[in-house]
């Protein structure tokens, strides 16, 4: 007889971060406030998942099946009240001051309740992370101030990151593939800026975004050498949203086509150097693939938790379904893989905090500067002006290049791609296996297991298909000349 409910359940409220990943217990001795913050993030995430995400998941999925434009605004406002869209902004500037570890804890807990609803919040940050990648300090400060002040007024700020083309999403994420790609979009250099023409597709939150970060080549016949990243407000003349996709899963988070018809982008909205768009893309992927991998593990866990609950209540042959040995073996197989991959995401989150981009926040000088500078100065126009001066900007840019080297980016793509592909495959296998366990009766919508199955399929396709993620691992393990 199974006495204990699933210990790592978003339905539970107890804190167990150290039990969850024992290495964090060792870390706690050296970095007590860092780990305590993550424990607090876990307590908060479980409550938010239980009270705000789980009760809405099926209803939102149903409404989005009828209308792909539907968005649960009440949910998003709840997320804003908790400062979730600005969670990575330091507390002193109005955010939650979350580390990558905090964010990944939230991702696993939230995705166990509903991948789609979590994605609306998490993916809106993608575009902002595009700004931080360039470490253009004035731009980062301007966006932080805008996001925090809009959030205070209850007005959401969405970003979209548009790299996928109708001609192929894989090509837009892989240097060798991009070399032979024929993009539909092109940017033409004109006086004072650039003119964009073309189409992007399958863009998360594309129909909601106020700001769109978009990659386009300056010369279609040399896409890799001329690929460049731009930022444009969605109010730019000539920009419009095409169709919003009807997807099999992750319906709560919309995906849209974006149309560019002679859209002027001023030169100051260039978000990579000309021809360095692919490097920009790779640097973002070196962080986000690990995040998506974490989300897939949450999704697999959510399916297993729902199956344990169903199988504990369902009677077969005069006993509970969960008392069948084959059911216990099937679920144990999945639990083993979830436990193992959880260590991989914890490791990846620590790497982002101590080895990749977020290590700047752990730098004692930066930490002290943030601590002693009054908030009024940090949020002032004067500081933004100062940050925009060539010397300051190139100093920060230089520091960033030293901190986040190409080697770090390559290594994190290798580990992040492995985590993403293994996690998405696990989510697909877990949800399929859970459907086998519960049978047709358990696959009724009300149990949420078939929704997990639909959500899982999408994870094998986005953030680079699992084939591309495998290729990225192979090339970094074995070496490959382009
Ligand atoms: C829910 C969802 C959200 C998304 N959000 C975004 C977003 O916010 N921003 C964005 O830019 N994109 C987004 N995408 C698009 C996503 O990144 C692409 O679907 C993905 O990159 C695959 O591209 P594709 O669908 O065009 O497939 P294709 O690139 O056409 O690939 C088709 C098949 O060929 C294989 N293949 C292609 N090229 C190669 C190669 N060189 N080597 C080996 N195999 C190859 C692929 O693995 C796949 O099996 C989203 C997609 C979905 C479903």
pLDDT at 154: 94
**Atom of ligand 1 minimally distant from the CA of 200:** 11
Cβ partners under 8 Å of residue 258, min gap 6: 160, 162, 199, 200, 201, 203, 206, 212, 214, 239, 240, 241, 242
Q: Report which DSSP code applies to 6.
A: P
**Atom of ligand 1 minimally distant from the CA of 250:** 1
**Atom of ligand 1 minimally distant from the CA of 162:** 11
> In degrees rounded to 5, what are phi and psi of residue 299?
-65, -45
Measure 15 CA to ligand 1 centroid, in angstroms: 38
The domain segmentation of the chain, as residue ranges, is: 1-482
Choose the most confident range, by mean pLDDT, from 4-8, 101-105, 359-363, 371-375.
Answer: 101-105
* CA nearest ligand 1 atom 14, residue: 202
442-462 b/e with 16+ CB inside 10 Å = b?
A: bbeeebbbbbbbbbbbbbbeb
**Atom of ligand 1 minimally distant from the CA of 204:** 8
246-263 b/e with 16+ CB inside 10 Å = b?
A: ebebbbbbbbbbbbbeeb
Measure 315 CA to ligand 1 centroid, in angstroms: 43
Q: Determine the Cα–Cα distance for residues 294 and 470; give it in Å rounded to an integer.
A: 17
Sign of CA pseudo-dihedral 81, 85, 87, 89: negative
| Domain 1-482: top CATH class | mainly alpha
pLDDT at 1: 45
Mean pLDDT of 448-459: 98
Output the DSSP codes for 425-471.
Answer: HHHHHHHHHHHHHHHHHHTSGGGSHHHHHHHHHHHTTSSS-HHHHHH
- Interval 129-187: pLDDT, tens: 776 776 678 888 888 899 999 999 999 999 999 999 998 889 999 999 999 898 999 99
Ligand 1 pocket test target in 462, 466, 469, 475 with most atoms within 8 Å of CB: 462
Residue 130 · residue 229 · CB < 8 Å: yes
pLDDT at 178: 93
**Atom of ligand 1 minimally distant from the CA of 176:** 41
What's the pLDDT band for 2 if we cut at 50, 70, 90? Answer: very low
Sign of CA pseudo-dihedral 292, 294, 295, 301: positive
Measure 313 CA to ligand 1 centroid, in angstroms: 40
pLDDT at 52: 96
Measure 168 CA to ligand 1 centroid, in angstroms: 6
Measure 66 CA to ligand 1 centroid, in angstroms: 25
What's the pLDDT band for 370 if we cut at 50, 70, 90? Answer: confident
Around ligand 1, the residues with Cβ closer than 6 Å are 161-164, 168-170, 173-174, 177, 202-204, 247, 250, 255, 458, 461-462, 464-465, 467-468, 471
- Interval 380-389: pLDDT, tens: 888 888 888 8
Measure 12 CA to ligand 1 centroid, in angstroms: 36
**Atom of ligand 1 minimally distant from the CA of 166:** 26
pLDDT at 394: 83
Range in 39-53, 117-131, 254-268, 321-335 with the lowest mean pLDDT: 117-131
Whether the pLDDT of residue 212 is over 70: the answer is yes
Distance between alpha carbon 75 and the CA centroid of its chain, in Å?
18
Measure 299 CA to ligand 1 centroid, in angstroms: 20
Measure 298 CA to ligand 1 centroid, in angstroms: 22
| pTM for the model | 0.94
Q: Determine the Cα–Cα distance for residues 263 and 178; give it in Å rounded to an integer.
A: 23
> In degrees rounded to 5, what are phi and psi of residue 319?
-140, 175
Q: Determine the Cα–Cα distance for residues 107 and 100; give it in Å rounded to an integer.
A: 10
């Amino acid at each position: 007889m199974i006495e204990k409910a699933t210990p790592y359940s978003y339905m539970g409220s107890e804190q167990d971060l150290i039990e969850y990943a024992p290495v964090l217990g060792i870390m706690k001795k050296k970095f007590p406030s860092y780990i305590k913050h993550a424990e607090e993030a876990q307590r908060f995430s479980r409550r938010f998942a239980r009270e705000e995400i789980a009760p809405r998941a099926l209803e939102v999925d149903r409404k989005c099946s009828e209308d792909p434009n539907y968005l649960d605004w009440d949910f998003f406002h709840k997320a804003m009240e908790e400062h979730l869209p600005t969670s990575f902004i330091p507390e002193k500037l109005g955010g939650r001051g979350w580390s990558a570890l905090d964010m990944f804890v939230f991702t696993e807990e939230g995705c166990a309740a509903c991948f789609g609803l979590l994605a609306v919040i998490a993916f809106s940050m993608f575009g902002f992370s595009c700004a931080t990648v360039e470490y253009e300090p004035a731009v980062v400060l301007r966006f932080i101030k805008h996001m925090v002040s809009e959030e205070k007024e209850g007005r959401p700020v969405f970003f979209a990151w548009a790299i996928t083309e109708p001609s192929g999403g894989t090509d837009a994420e892989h240097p060798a593939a991009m070399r032979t790609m024929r993009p539909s979009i092109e940017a033409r250099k004109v006086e004072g800026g650039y003119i964009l023409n073309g189409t992007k597709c399958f863009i998360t939150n594309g129909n909601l975004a106020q700001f769109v970060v978009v990659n386009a080549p300056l010369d279609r016949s040399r896409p890799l050498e001329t690929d460049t990243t731009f930022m444009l407000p969605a109010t730019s003349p000539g920009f419009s949203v095409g169709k919003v996709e009807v997807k099999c899963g992750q319906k709560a988070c919309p995906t849209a086509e974006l149309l560019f018809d002679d859209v002027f982008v001023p030169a100051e909205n260039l978000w990579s150097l000309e021809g360095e768009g692919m490097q920009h893309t790779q640097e973002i992927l070196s962080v986000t693939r690990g995040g998506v991998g974490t989300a897939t593990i949450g999704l697999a866990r959510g399916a297993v938790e729902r199956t344990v609950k169903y199988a504990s209540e369902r009677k077969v042959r005069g006993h509970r379904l969960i008392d069948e040995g084959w059911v216990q073996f099937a679920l144990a197989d999945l639990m083993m893989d979830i436990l193992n991959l959880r260590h991989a995401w914890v490791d990846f989150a620590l790497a982002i905090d101590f080895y990749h981009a977020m290590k700047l926040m752990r730098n004692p000088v930066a930490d002290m500067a943030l601590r002693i500078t009054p908030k009024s100065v940090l949020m002032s126009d004067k500081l933004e002006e100062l940050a925009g001066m060539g010397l300051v900007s190139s100093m920060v840019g230089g520091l960033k290049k030293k901190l986040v080297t190409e080697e770090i980016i390559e290594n994190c793509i290798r580990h992040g791609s492995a985590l993403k592909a293994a996690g998405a495959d696990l989510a697909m296998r877990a949800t399929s296996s859970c459907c086998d366990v519960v049978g047709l009766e358990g696959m009724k919508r009300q149990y949420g297991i078939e929704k997990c199955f639909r959500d899982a399929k999408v994870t094998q396709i986005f953030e680079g298909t699992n084939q591309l993620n495998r290729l990225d691992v192979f090339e970094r393990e074995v070496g490959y000349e382009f």
